[in-house]
Structures are given as C-alpha cells and as structure tokens.
Structure 1
Amino acid sequence: MPPSDSSLIEDLRVAHMLADNADAISLKRFGASDLRVDSKPDMTEVTDADVAVEEAIRAVLKKARPRDAVHGEELADTGHGPRRWVIDPIDGTRNFVRGVPVWATLIALFDGDEVVLGCVSAPALSRRWWASKGGGAFTGKSIRTPKQCRVSAVGSIEDASMSYSSIGGWVTTPYGQPFVDLLRQCWRTRAYGDFWSYMLLAEGAVDIACEPDLALHDMAAPSIIVTEAGGRFSNVAGEDGPVGPGALATNDLLHDQVVAHLNRG
C-alpha cells in the first residue's frame, strides 16, 4: 500500500537511499580491528562509524532536502523548517563494538510534531523495516521486496511475549517493581533490546516492548513502524508518540492493561 500522501513516496525513496549509504559505511567498520571507540559526556560509547554514518546522511540530505532540518545523535542540529529528519546513525552501539550483529541505522521524518516516515536498517541481519503515514509498515531487504508487517492478536498479558532492554535501568525508576511483576506475569520474556524489540513487535513475534529511558532519535523511527503495523507506541505513562520518558509499545490490545500495570500506585 503506497503512502496516503503522495509526497511521502519520494521521501521514502530518499530514506532508503540514506539507509543504503549508511549500511555500506557501517558494515565496512563492523568488526574492524582499528575501530575507534570514545566515551561521550553521558558515558555512553560512540565509534568512528557512528560519526561517519551521520555525516554521510547529513551530506545527502543537504543536497536532496536542503530546506529540511536535521537532528542527529552525534552532531549539532541544523535547519529550522517544519520538516525535520531525526537520525540515530547506529542504534545498539555496544552491540556494534562487541561484534553482536543486532544494531541498526534509524531514520525518521517529522512534519511539525508528527512522525510521518520511518526506516530502520540492520545490515548485519540483512533486514530492513519502513513505514509512512497511512501507508502501512513493511519489511524486506529493500523497497523492491516488501512484506507487510502486522502486530499480533494476543489479548492477555498472561499469553504475551515481552521484550525489554535491561532490568538495571528500571530499578532506579518508580516503575521498577511493577516492571518486575510484569515480567513474572507474561508468558515469555526476553531482552532482545534496542530497535530489535520494536521491529519484532511490528512483525507480531513480540506483544510488548518497553524501555525506561530513551531519546527522540531512539524512538522516532520505531514509533511509526509500530503504529502503521497496527500497534500502539507511547511513553510509560501512556501518552502516545515518541515523547518519553521511556517507551512502551504493544499490539494495541494490551496497551491499556500494561500502562495500568506499570502505573499502579
């Protein structure tokens, strides 16, 4: 199904071109013996591949979409237009550094305050997911080989499969004990983590995905892929959209139940 807004068709093609370029750079650096890893002020890791990917994406956008603003994880914001590209050059940097193939480039486009397009490309897994407003969510190796994504129809927490990033991040929040209780209540739990949790949810393989602390560049692209697949994406308090604090995604049937569970008391 094509995007309901025809102008998004060209934007989606641009997003795939950006992802192709990013994949070429990141794959070349994945597992490289001379990979440079530094620490940012918040003590998270950044590699030369993170910076190189974001620089390459920005260079293409400067030519292809010169009027659009750009927000990225590693470099300063540029532009002031209502349309804004939001980039996470490598989501899952710690996996990337350790040789774990679960990492991806996340690309989203905002029109005002609304996410209208998202693309998640995981080249080490040979997988890609994308979505546009009103156009549905898809997966495939490229835009030429799409398979539509649909969330699951699981309606109870006791039957649900849940994915999360780590337990440690939850214990310092007011949601710590409710989160642990939710783990115990679910049928199955696994820490797939990062973008992977949300893509599995969009495909119907996972029913609940949540994290306590995320930035806009982490959430923007996954949020529209989840919602266009029929799911719901909110913060932990239940406010829809990639607004934080944290993120909670479900197949929609489970959302109110999980929000109530995490926010009890």
Structure 2
Amino acid sequence: MNDLDLATELADLADSISYRHFVAQDFTVETKPDLTPVTECDRAVESAIMDRLNRERPEDSVLGEEFGSHGTSPRRWIVDPIDGTKNFVRGVPIWATLISLYDGQTPIIGMVSAPALGRRWWAAAGHGAFTSALEEPAKRIRVSDVDSLGDASMSYASLSGWKELGILDEFLGLCDSLWRTRGYGDFYSYMLLAEGAVDIACEPELELYDMGALVPIVLEAGGTFTNTAGAPGPFGGNALASNSRLQERALDRLGRVAPNIARTDTQS
C-alpha cells in the first residue's frame, strides 16, 4: 500500500470513530494543562491511527497531539485527531482529522478529513491537491490568482492571539487593506485558500500537528505557507499562507515578526 492510500484509510478510520460521537454528543470533555479541551474521542481517534501505523509502517516515527512523539525515523507521520475540538464539543461542524507524512522537513502527504462537512482534502508531493465531497468524484484544486491586497479575501483565527504576539495593530492594518475578512478559523481557512475561495489565511500561534497536513495541500495547490517571520513550512510556531502572489506584501504588513515561541527561545 502506498503512503497516500494508507493516509486515506487512516482518515476513513478516524471518521468512523469521530463522526458518530459528534452526532450523538455522547462524550465527556476534559481540560488539558494548556487549558484547551480534549475528549475521549480525540484520544480514541489518535490511538486507532497510531495502532494502524504501528502495523503498516513500523519503521516510521509518529507525532500526535495527545500522545506525543514516538520513534526516531526522519519519516514521520504527524496527527491531529480532531483539529477544532472547541467546535466539536459545541456541535459546530468545522472540525477535521489532520494526517501528514514528512521526510525530515520535506512534506510528502497531507490529508484533511472533515466528515461533518462531508468534505476531504489531500495532496501528495508533486501530484497536486484535490478535494472531494460525499459521493462525488475528486477534483483538483488551485489557489486564486488575485494579486492585489485590495481585492483579496482573508480568513483568520481570533484576535486575542495577535494581541499576545504584539502585532494587533499591524494585523488590523492588514485587515483594513483587504477587500474582505472572515474568521472561518482552524484547518478550514487553509482549505478555502487551497480551493481559491480565500486568498490569505493566518493564525498567530500554532503547533506542528495543527499545520503539518495543511502545508502540502496549500503548496500543491500553488500557494505559499510560512510563519509570520517568513520561514517556510509548519515548523515556525504560527502561519501566514497565501496564493503566493500576496505573500510578501502580507508579511510586510505584519512586520515580519517572529512568533512568540521563537522569541522565548531567543531570550532563554
């Protein structure tokens, strides 16, 4: 079985667990030390994926949001069992399982499955990005060709993180320069970007498992994915992604500031 086929089966497995609990709302919610919510469904999905990877790819390493990192191979699967847990627990359908495979820092596979939306997005390096709806054939997706901030639409996360990063004024200035802004949030911002429905997507603070699956899909759709300082990929602590045409101007508007994680590392 090739890596993309395996990622597809992992997404099917995740959906079979998460969606029925979402519909039934039959789970308990706990608060993790970082004050974010977690359910037994998050853990059940991640456990099922890890068990399958252990059988199918025992030589690969894995990183999951709930159970951490295992193995030392540069080939690493990165899993967020439920991205958008706050939506999940409130009955909002914008949540997904994120699965990716990297070789070192090189993205190989990205898979985003959102069963409550009836949608899935995926990409394999060098083979383009795709989406499908339930019972519908897959279609290739591509970022927009909007090349002016004044004509651009941006999707973002909450305002509080931009204040904590110290660039709320710069962020609001970027918003003022755009045609349209909406707070779709989480994985969905980046999938809308890959489809060409929005032109910029950004979040001020993220973990690797939040971004791993998004990067290959955005890149294969023709987009650019960096952190707010301009460092490419999902390893920089936050995200600014665009249709590529707008990337440098958006970075300039935000001041090319390093995320808080980078600042902390510098000061320690």
Q: TM-score range by the shorter chain?
A: over 0.9
Matched, 1:227 2:205: no
For 1:128 and 1:222, locate their aligned partners in 2 and report how far apart those are by CA, in whole Å: 12
Matched, 1:66 2:53: no
Alpha carbons 1:154, 1:160 under 8 Å: kept: yes
Aligned residue runs from structure 1 range 1-265, under 5 A: 10-141=2-133, 145-263=137-255
User: RMSD across aligned C-alpha pairs, in angstroms?
Assistant: 1.5
Q: 1:178 to 1:256 in 2, by over 3 A?
A: same
Q: Tell me the alpha carbon deviations over residues 190-239 of structure 1, each in whole angstroms, 9 at most, x when there is no partner.
A: 00000000000000000000000000000111011001000000001111
Alpha carbons 1:234, 1:241 under 8 Å: kept: yes
For 1:208 and 1:76, locate their aligned partners in 2 and report how far apart those are by CA, in whole Å: 30
Length-normalised TM-score, structure 2: 0.93
Length-normalised TM-score, structure 1: 0.94
Aligned-pair distance for 1:172? Answer: 1.6
What letter corresponds to residue 114 of structure 2 in structure 1?
A: A
Q: 1:130 to 1:143 in 2, by over 3 A?
A: farther
- Any stretches of 5+ residues in structure 1 without a counterpart? 1-8
Q: Tell me the alpha carbon deviations over residues 84-140 of structure 1, each in whole angstroms, 9 at most, x when there is no partner.
A: 000000000000000000000000001112111100000000100000111110001
Aligned-pair distance for 1:144? Answer: 8.6
SS of the equivalent of 1:30 reads helix
What letter corresponds to residue 181 of structure 1 in structure 2?
A: G
Alpha carbons 1:83, 1:112 under 8 Å: kept: yes
Aligned-pair distance for 1:168? Answer: 1.3
What letter corresponds to residue 133 of structure 1 in structure 2?
A: A
Alpha carbons 2:65, 2:79 under 8 Å: kept: yes
Alpha carbons 1:213, 1:244 under 8 Å: kept: no
Alpha carbons 1:178, 1:264 under 8 Å: kept: no
Q: 1:116 to 1:144 in 2, by over 3 A?
A: farther
Aligned-pair distance for 1:179? Answer: 0.3
What letter corresponds to residue 94 of structure 2 in structure 1?
A: V
What letter corresponds to residue 64 of structure 2 in structure 1?
A: G
Aligned-pair distance for 1:77? Answer: 1.5
SS of the equivalent of 1:259 reads helix
| Poorly superposed stretches of 4+, deviation over 4 Å | none
Moved more, 111-120 or 14-23: 111-120
Alpha carbons 2:230, 2:256 under 8 Å: kept: no
Alpha carbons 2:201, 2:240 under 8 Å: kept: yes
Alpha carbons 2:118, 2:134 under 8 Å: kept: no
